[in-house]
């Protein structure tokens, strides 16, 4: 993938519609007419020092410098923010501040590789270049050139941004993480999801409390799409929804469960992810596997299964034993409710690799009910793991206590513990039968 584009993430989730209804009736005096508000003042533009027109869509920020004649420079890090109009100066200053804070957190503290010096291919020198593009609704990082001085697939890049003010800090931090990713591996062939998971994880670290709408971390609303489709692979490439952004929950699980004092584990995963140009191994699963096994003695597959248990405990199902802020993240995972007195029952299960189905088995009687479980599939390249969210591996039978419920998870896992490589994101089918002895 040679170009990462992050559209305005918040638009579809947070924009509301205000409808004003009014009227009068009978002999009541009507309300006075509402006069139109005064138009905003016209801000003059000096063509001698500013660019006063619309920037064409075909503009290349690196070669068409006439559209960005003004620059704010960081005095701390090699960063330049270019802009078109004097009135954007305050915005440029804020972006420089957010870039400084992001560099300090992601490079100096976590250990990510710094953005590469572009040797003047963009801007007038090798400093990292960011462009405020008036009229563009979004943000992205894109490549300039491969770095031929290294063996791995790293690139110089630049950033374009023009997002609403209330999310500007985390947008800047998110895009900056894409810039540092490019210093390790910009040619990842098998997936886009790890780029977005990592950037969404990194954006929250310098700004643990989002300035917008009182939300904690602006990635949290994207959990709605992620939790709504647990049957989709944790690692699916999907820019049609916010699934990839919500999937950063897996990295928060790793942080809280295995690296509580060391968020820099994600930077070490990116270092291990480096590969040669044109090669797709090692990939991010290889890198995750290596860091988890070498540093914490756990397999990658074990973390996937445990994460599927953890993701249940959000919102109303939070038990205080899993995610620290699980009660505040009110996006419970989609599940099917089954009354265990209605047995036997056969359910079609359909999920992708590293995806799962959730069943809430409710016993409203005053007696414990025993259930047998059978799963049929004719696919040989998938292992179907069946377990409860409390951690019990279920083989053939289990009990549901009186006046209680059990959460059953059916997950599709690879047959080989060393699985890695390209994902096809095909759905796999099985039939789950529950019955009483």
Specify the range with the lowest mean pLDDT, choosing from 128-132, 137-141, 286-290, 424-428: 424-428
CA distance 122 to 236: 33
**How confident is the model at residue 24, as a pLDDT?**
32
For residues 295 and 100, give the distance between their C-alpha atoms in angstroms, rounded to a whole number: 30
CB count within 10 Å of CB 221 equals 21
Q: What is the pLDDT of residues 179-201, one digit of tens each?
A: 999 999 987 655 789 999 999 99
Q: What is the mean pLDDT of residues 375-402?
A: 87
Buried/exposed 352-363: b ≥16 CB within 10 Å, e otherwise? bbbbbbbbbbbb
Q: Which two tokens mark 261?
A: 């004092």
Q: What is the pLDDT of residue 214?
A: 46
Residue 8: band (very low, low, confident or very high) from pLDDT cuts 50, 70, 90 = very low
Q: How confident is the model at residue 122, as a pLDDT? A: 96
The pTM for the full model equals 0.87
pLDDT mean over 77-84: 98
Class of domain 336-435: mainly beta
With 0-12 / 13-18 / 19 or more C-beta atoms within 10 angstroms meaning exposed / middle / buried, residue 330 is middle
Q: Which two tokens stand for residue 310?
A: 């953890």
Q: What is the pLDDT of residues 301-353, one digit of tens each?
A: 999 999 999 999 999 999 999 999 899 899 999 999 999 988 899 999 999 99
Domain locations in the chain as residue ranges? 1-11+44-187, 336-435
**What pLDDT score was predicted for residue 379?**
82
CATH topology of domain 1-11+44-187: Glutaredoxin (3.40.30)
- Tell me the C-alpha distance between 95 and 97, whole Å: 5
Residues 232 and 242: their CA atoms lie apart, in Å, by 12
CB 349 within 8 A of CB 409: no
Q: How far is CA 182 from the centre of its chain?
A: 17
Residue carrying structure tokens 């950037």: 199
CA 95 to chain centre: 21
User: For residues 214 and 433, which has the higher predicted lDDT (pLDDT)?
Assistant: 433
What is the three-class DSSP state of 409?
Answer: strand
Within 10 angstroms of residue 305's Cβ, the number of other Cβ atoms is 18
* Cα atoms found within 13 Å of the Cα of residue 334, Cβ hemisphere only: 13
pLDDT tens for each residue of 343-359: 899 999 999 999 999 99
pLDDT for 411 equals: 94
The helix (H) or strand (E) run that includes residue 361 is strand 355-363
With bands split at pLDDT 50, 70 and 90, how would you rate the model's confidence at 209?
low
Share of residues in the chain with pLDDT > 70 (%): 85
Tell me, what's the pLDDT at 391? Answer: 83
Predicted pLDDT at 190: 52
Segment (H or E) for 336: strand 336-339
């Amino acid at each position: 993938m040679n170009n990462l584009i992050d559209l305005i993430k918040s638009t579809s989730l947070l924009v509301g519609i205000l409808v004003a209804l009014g009227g009068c009736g009978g002999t009541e005096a009507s309300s006075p007419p509402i006069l139109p508000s005064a138009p905003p003042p016209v801000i003059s533009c000096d063509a001698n020092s500013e660019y006063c027109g619309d920037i064409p869509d075909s503009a290349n920020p690196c070669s068409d410098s006439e559209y960005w004649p003004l620059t704010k420079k960081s005095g701390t890090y090699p960063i330049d923010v270019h802009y078109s109009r004097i009135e954007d100066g305050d915005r440029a200053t804020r972006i420089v501040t957010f870039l400084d804070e992001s560099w300090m957190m992601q490079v100096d503290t976590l250990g990510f590789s710094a953005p590469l010096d572009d040797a003047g291919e963009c801007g007038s020198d090798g400093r990292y270049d960011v462009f405020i593009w008036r009229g563009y609704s979004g943000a992205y990082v894109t490549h300039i050139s491969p770095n031929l001085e290294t063996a791995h697939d790293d690139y110089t890049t630049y950033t374009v941004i023009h997002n609403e003010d209330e999310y500007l800090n985390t947008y800047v931090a998110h895009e900056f993480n894409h810039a540092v990713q490019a210093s390790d591996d910009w040619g990842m062939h098998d997936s886009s999801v790890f780029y977005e998971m990592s950037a969404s994880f990194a954006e929250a670290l310098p700004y643990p409390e989002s300035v917008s709408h009182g939300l904690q971390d602006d990635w949290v609303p994207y959990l709605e799409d992620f939790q709504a489709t647990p049957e989709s692979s944790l690692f699916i490439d999907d820019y049609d929804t916010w699934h990839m952004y919500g999937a950063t929950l897996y990295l928060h699980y790793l942080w809280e469960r295995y690296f509580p004092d060391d968020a820099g584990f994600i930077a070490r995963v990116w270092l291990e992810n480096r590969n040669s140009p044109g090669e797709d191994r090692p990939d991010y699963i290889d890198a995750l596997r290596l860091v988890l096994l070498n540093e914490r003695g756990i397999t990658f597959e074990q973390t996937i299964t445990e994460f599927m248990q953890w993701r249940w405990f959000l919102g109303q199902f939070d038990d205080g034993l899993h995610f620290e802020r699980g009660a505040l993240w009110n996006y419970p995972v989609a599940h099917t409710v089954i009354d265990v007195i209605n047995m036997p029952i056969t359910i079609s299960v359909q999920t992708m690799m590293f995806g799962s189905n959730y069943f809430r088995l409710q016993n409203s009687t005053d007696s414990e009910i025993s259930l047998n479980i059978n799963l049929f599939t004719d696919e040989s390249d998938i292992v179907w793991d069946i377990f409860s969210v409390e951690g019990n591996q279920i083989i053939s039978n289990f009990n549901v206590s009186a006046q209680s419920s059990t959460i059953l998870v059916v997950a599709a896992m690879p047959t080989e513990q060393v699985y890695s490589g390209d994902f096809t994101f095909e759905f796999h089918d099985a039939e789950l039968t529950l019955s009483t002895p």
